[in-house]
Amino acid sequence: MSRRKSGSIAKRAVQTDPKYGSELVAHMINYFMRRGKKTTAQRIVYGAVAELDGKVEGKEVLEVLDVAVNNMKPRVEVKSRRVGGASYQVPVEIKPQRQLALALRWLTTYAHGRRGMGMPKAVAAELLDAYNNTGNVIKKRDDTHKMAQANRAFAHYAF
């Protein structure tokens, strides 16, 4: 018998970041944080936002950031489902919280993979590429969508 209380556990609200007052920037800081070093993560994210400032004409930096992250978010993914001894890759829609988590995870991975530049510049470059619908994160999102599209015949096995 489960010891959990009945019902689901409520999500904690993320506090806005002190500099921009944005929940998205606070999420990014938390994703870039390693081993509890929040000031290092803040330096990376704030440096990336400062790099982005003025790169896109006529747009506010937080607006550019919001568009870039929305471009990175995958809408569908495949989950493995075992039916009668065979495993099928079943396409499922992704909840908004997971969409953001995947987008920021991919951003950290591909920004870290860029060699020859500092982390704030690498993050800014990935975000600018995502704003323009190019780059590694967008390729990953498109690959995820293609995989779901290719396996849509198994959608009737959805959970």
Which domains are present in the chain? 23-157 (1.10.455.10)
Contacts of 128 (CB under 8 A, 6+ apart): 52, 55, 56, 68
Residues in the chain: 159
Residue 75 scores a pLDDT above 90: yes
pLDDT tens for 96-145 read 999 999 999 999 999 999 999 999 999 999 999 999 999 999 999 999 99
Which run of H or E residues covers position 108?
A: helix 96-113
Residues 39-64 have a mean pLDDT of 91
pLDDT score of 58: 83
pLDDT score of 65: 93
Q: Write out the DSSP string of the chain.
A: ---SPSSPPPPPPPPPPTTT--HHHHHHHHHH--TT-HHHHHHHHHHHHHHHTTTSTT--HHHHHHHHHHHH--SEEEEEEEETTEEEEEEEE--HHHHHHHHHHHHHHHHHH--SS-HHHHHHHHHHHHHTT-SHHHHHHHHHHHHHHHTGGGGGG--
Contacts of 9 (CB under 8 A, 6+ apart): none
pLDDT score of 149: 87
Please compute Rg for the chain using Cα positions.
18
At residue 1 the predicted structure's pLDDT band, cuts being 50, 70 and 90, is low
pLDDT tens for 9-45 read 788 888 899 999 999 999 999 999 999 999 999 999 9
